[in-house]
Amino acid sequence: MNTGVAKGVVHVVPHDLRNALTQKAVVREVWNTLTPLARNEWICWTISVQKPETRKAHIVRIVEDLQKGKRRPCCWAGCPHR
């Protein structure tokens, strides 16, 4: 089984997000089909928060949104690091 998780443009996938993405093969497969820029947006959306509980909620939402076919975080200005 391939457990590789593709990275973003600027950001590396953090361990907590990587763990969530590898729990379900379908989520990992969708993640790996995203463009590097789209993956970067999800990563930045996750790591840019201040509270650990918000970060955990973002990771849960990423998994849910990817399962629904969403390809980018909704209603977010985007990664300021690119």
- With 70 as the cut, is the pLDDT of residue 2 above it? no
pLDDT of residue 1: 45
Question: What is the Cα–Cα distance from 6 to 28, expressed in whole angstroms?
Answer: 9
Banded pLDDT at 3 (limits 50, 70, 90): low
Q: Summarize pLDDT for 22-47 with one digit per residue, the tens.
A: 999 999 999 999 999 999 999 999 99
Question: Which pTM does this prediction carry?
Answer: 0.89
Question: What is the Cα–Cα distance from 17 to 13, expressed in whole angstroms?
Answer: 6
Question: Half-sphere exposure of 20 toward its Cβ, with a 13 Å CA cutoff?
Answer: 21
